Amino acid sequence: MKEIISLHDNYKQIEKAIRYLDENFKDHPSIDEVAKNVGMSKFHFIRVFKEYVGVTPKQFLHSVTLNYAKEHIKESKSILESSLDIGLSSTSRLHELFVNLIGVTPKEWKEKGKDVLITYGFGQTPFGEALIGFTDKGVCYLGFIDENKNEIFNRFNELWENANLCHDQEAANKYLENIFIKNKKYSLFVKGTNLQVNVWKALLNLPNGIVATYQDIANYLDKPKAVRAIASAIGRNHIGYLIPCHRVIAKSGAMSGYRWGIERKKILIAYESINKENNPE
């Protein structure tokens, strides 16, 4: 628990730094200026960064630039093709061969989760506070929170409006620690249309450190003209991080369109990319 609290606290500082850089990128602020803005000395700021992701702020911040994203899209092509081909041909090999995705039954869809028991709670993660919900079939919701706790809960409640909700903070903390610190794999219990579920299955096959474009996903689902529908399905993902919609970016390399915040999307991509380079499989 101590580790997740430390990572959560460091995340908040990094998020603030990236927001500052986004707002002042034309002025090319120095590390000293960024550190001052987040209320730290330069050396403390560097130490926090290294504790969080294992590299210096300069190396980390390079990973969230537009040019880096463009380069990464090119580098990802062959890996993306093979990983999606493997995953889409075998639903049991999702998300690095560990996660199963289970859709609601037609009856559960029609009745909007009636008689489904969902345990939920709020807790800390390395990427900010989150709301997690889970059933005996798997995780059914994971949403990140900034200053919008009620809004995130309402989204969760609307998605499963007829379910029986049971608040259990201790169980929620355990789930979050297992996911983010112990890397335990859970089945995912999703509620979506056939297209949405197929898009989410495709996302589950994007390995850590790999980014794709909306067009890439549309092509691999054999729906090259359905980019808008694909983008909409990605935006409807209700299990953040575990279904990695943050790994999908625009053709230009822009990291727009993330329901849990652009700063968080950049941090997730950079964090995964750097850890992939530092810990190659």
Report the sign of the C-alpha dihedral through residues 189, 191, 193, 195, in that order: negative
Catalytic position from the list 159, 243, 245, 248: 245
- With residue 248 as reference, give the H or E element that holds it: strand 248-249
Q: Which amino acid is at 112?
A: K
Q: Is the dihedral of CA 183, 186, 191, 193 positive or negative?
A: positive
Cα distance between residue 102 and residue 136, in whole Å = 11
How buried is 28 (Cβ within 10 angstroms: 0-12 exposed, 13-18 middle, 19+ buried)?
exposed
Q: Is 245 an active-site residue?
A: yes
Chain Cα centroid distance, residue 244: 5
By annotation, the residues acting in catalysis are: 245
